[in-house]
Amino acid sequence: MDLKLAFRLIIPLTLFAACGAVTAATDTQGAAAQPGKVTEPQNDGSIPRVRLVSQEQYFDTLSYVFGPDILPTAHFPPFARTDGLLEIGASTVGMTSGQMQQFQRAASSVAQAVVSPERRNFLIPCTPHHADAADGACASRFLGSVGRLLWRRPLSKDELTDVVNSANQTADHLKDFYAGLSVALEGMLISPNTMYVIDRTEPDPKHAGRRRLDSYSLASRLSFFLWNSGPDDELLKQAEHGDLQSSQGRARAVDRMLRSSRLEAGVRAFFDDMFGFDDFAVLAKDPMIYPKFISAAVLDAREQTLRTIVDHVLVRNGDYRDLFTTRHTFLSPALAVLYGVPVSSGWTPYDVPADSPRVGLLTQVSFLALHAHPGRSSPTLRGKALRELLLCQRVPHPPPNVDFSKVENPDPTLHTMRERLTAHRSNPVCAGCHRIVDPIGLGLENFDGVGEFRNTEGGETIDASGTLDGRSFKDAVGLGQALHDDPALPACLVSRMYSYGVGGAPANGDQTQALLKYFDARFSDDGYRVPDLMRTIALSEAFSEVTEPPAAVSTKTAAADSPTAAQPHPVH
């Protein structure tokens, strides 16, 4: 694949989605109104975007197309966390020539594995007339079928001709049909059509002068939202037949997708993004202070929370809010040591005793260890994370030249973190930020920097009482209940999930607020069930309609200029 050609292809595709979109349709096309249900308000829809697929999305797509034993070794560039989500940052990330070469090597290894003697008989649906020469008919049959899944739409006649010609020319030159097929497949694997999700639009036949996502773009948006992967064969067929553009057809498609086992991958990907678990890649603790926090515990902490979520919201179809009060979870041997319970082999279900100080996700090692310092706990980091990740509230940056000495080099007479933070807040410039995060984070002070329980600090009994927006609690159990009862908790999930699904943060304005209130009301009516919320969003008109971005601003620029969540900053 010519790298210069690949870059020339990327540029116009990036600009394409910004062109031609106008105000979206306003009639209800998504979930049909039901008796007693609120109806979707008018909304202009989202701005069409071009997004680089994530590494997991790329791998999951290849796994579906070729099987789980064929995976590349590429490492995608990190996305910028934007408005709380990496998925939004995907529309602002680019690729360097070095990264493109790395992807090309990975694509080459995948293509060679597909045509290898041990796999070609079941991955390639035809046999060439002669293995040492080109066979256009067989190449066309394979590349057209695979290309449709990789590019998430059928190849045009000219596109198919180009890739088949590439295969034929290489096969004739090398006297090897499968070598030609490998080269053509490699080019398809690193094509912008594979690596970028492109929101293509079309005129809305029901509303003159308005536009919507075309059927294949809508199929991709549904699939990446619900499955974190490209569309399967059946969804592409529904797109081809126009089924996704009718409320009944899209409802059938979404309901099938929600019943699929692939929904688990989609749920895991969303919560992994929302909870900022990419930070596990750089998590480090002082081994002298925390010798039990081994590398296996780092991996298992992330997995424990994701298993708990999947079990609760999918297997048990539970209330989302109960994730913060549940005592049911899963433990591995590495985590059992940190939790102080008997070690068993493998992952096992575990019910936390009723008298235990642990309850819900906030007291799992993942949250406690991620939001602490390498050698100590941090009520401020934990309170900040709770507000920003779970309540969608922004914590202001600390003012410049703040004196942290009272925390970092504390007076030896101040034995507990509560005492040190009280002294730190005596500085008026610090008091504002700490007033909104410390009373929450102190509720988790019975857990050290890696999440082990403790009753004392510096020889003094820990006081874990606090308040969350007027709700008082005495410990982590009470904090979990206060969070459960806070209406901002489900509202934050609604906003994050809609943003995740359409690839961009909701625009400011009355229309957007009305839309989010509609989603909130439906979520409440459905008992705060996550699959029901996913269905409501996927069937909404706002999910499929598109609106024109600001004049002369490209999709990526518009995304980059949108308000962003507060970036990490030194807090204590």
- Residue-wise DSSP of 134-147: --HHHHHHHHHHHH
pLDDT confidence of residue 449 = 97
Please tell me the distance from the alpha carbon of residue 29 to that of residue 21, in angstroms, as a whole number. 18
Q: Check residue 445 and report its DSSP letter.
A: T
Please tell me the distance from the alpha carbon of residue 143 to that of residue 150, in angstroms, as a whole number. 10
Least confident of 32-36, 109-113, 226-230, 528-532: 32-36
Query: In the beta sheet, which residues pair with residue 361?
Result: none
pLDDT confidence of residue 288 = 96
Residue reference for tokens 């009520």? 379
Helix axes 530-539 and 488-502, enclosed angle (nearest 10): 50
Smallest CA-to-CA distance from 120 within 170, 180, 60 is with 180
pLDDT confidence of residue 67 = 94
- This prediction has a pTM of 0.87
Q: What is the number of residues in the chain? A: 572
* Cβ density class 137-152: b for 16+ within 10 Å, e for less: ebbbebbebbbbbbbb
pLDDT in tens, 513-570: 999 999 999 999 999 999 999 999 999 999 999 987 654 334 343 333 333 333 333 3
Contact 395, 572 (CB under 8 A): no
pLDDT confidence of residue 325 = 98
Query: In the beta sheet, which residues pair with residue 82?
Result: 85
Smallest CA-to-CA distance from 239 within 226, 252, 228, 227 is with 252
pLDDT confidence of residue 11 = 34
pLDDT in tens, 423-454: 555 555 555 566 888 899 999 999 999 999 99
How large is the average pLDDT for residues 286-294? 96
Residue 458 φ/ψ, nearest 5 degrees: 60, 30
pLDDT confidence of residue 118 = 95
Helix axes 136-150 and 55-66, enclosed angle (nearest 10): 140
- Determine what percent of the chain is predicted with pLDDT higher than 90: 71
How large is the average pLDDT for residues 498-514? 89
Query: How many degrees, rounded to 5, is the angle at CA 43 between CA 39 and CA 45?
Result: 125
How large is the average pLDDT for residues 496-517? 90
β-strand pairing of 471-473 with 466-468: antiparallel
pLDDT band at 94 (very low <50, low <70, confident <90, very high): confident
pLDDT in tens, 341-382: 998 889 999 999 999 999 999 999 999 999 999 999 999 999
Determine the longest span between alpha carbons in the chain, in angstroms.
86
SS3 (DSSP) at 348: strand
pLDDT confidence of residue 263 = 98
Query: How many degrees, rounded to 5, is the angle at CA 328 between CA 324 and CA 331?
Result: 110
How large is the average pLDDT for residues 110-134? 96
How many CB atoms sit inside 10 A of residue 354's CB?
7
pLDDT in tens, 248-258: 999 999 999 99
Q: For residues 218 and 74, which has the higher predicted lDDT (pLDDT)?
A: 218
Encoded tokens for 223: 């699939």
pLDDT confidence of residue 14 = 37
pLDDT band at 318 (very low <50, low <70, confident <90, very high): very high
pLDDT in tens, 175-216: 999 999 999 999 999 999 999 999 999 988 877 777 899 999
For residue 56, the surrounding DSSP H or E stretch is: helix 55-66
Least confident of 24-38, 141-155, 369-383: 24-38
CA separation (Å) from 17 to 51, 217, 555? 10, 11, 7
pLDDT confidence of residue 84 = 92
Please tell me the distance from the alpha carbon of residue 527 to that of residue 531, in angstroms, as a whole number. 11
pLDDT confidence of residue 154 = 97
Residue 213 φ/ψ, nearest 5 degrees: -65, 140
Q: Is the dihedral of CA 73, 79, 84, 85 positive or negative?
A: negative
Query: How many degrees, rounded to 5, is the angle at CA 28 between CA 24 and CA 33?
Result: 160
Q: Which stretches of 181-335 are assigned E, i.e. beta strand? A: 196-198, 201-203, 211-213, 328-331
Helices (H), 244-294: 247-259, 263-274
pLDDT confidence of residue 432 = 54
pLDDT confidence of residue 412 = 61
Least confident of 163-167, 270-274, 399-403: 399-403
How large is the average pLDDT for residues 150-159? 98
SS3 (DSSP) at 6: helix
pLDDT confidence of residue 20 = 33
pLDDT band at 19 (very low <50, low <70, confident <90, very high): very low
Encoded tokens for 126: 């035809």
pLDDT in tens, 70-91: 988 778 777 889 999 999 999 8
How large is the average pLDDT for residues 144-155? 98
pLDDT in tens, 375-425: 999 999 999 999 999 999 998 877 665 555 555 555 566 657 766 666 555
pLDDT confidence of residue 177 = 98
pLDDT confidence of residue 58 = 94
Please tell me the distance from the alpha carbon of residue 143 to that of residue 160, in angstroms, as a whole number. 8
Mean of the per-residue pLDDT values of the chain: 86
Least confident of 41-50, 51-60, 283-292, 460-469: 41-50
pLDDT confidence of residue 48 = 92
pLDDT confidence of residue 59 = 93
CA separation (Å) from 203 to 200, 216, 415, 545? 11, 14, 67, 10
Query: In the beta sheet, which residues pair with residue 546?
Result: 46
SS3 (DSSP) at 265: helix
Residue reference for tokens 């899963």? 330
Q: Kindly report the three-state secondary structure assignment for every residue of 148-175.
A: HHHCCCCCCHHHHHHHHHHHHHHHHHHC
Contact 107, 189 (CB under 8 A): yes
Position 478: which residue type? G
> Above 50 in pLDDT, residue 498?
yes
Query: How many degrees, rounded to 5, is the angle at CA 497 between CA 212 and CA 530?
Result: 115
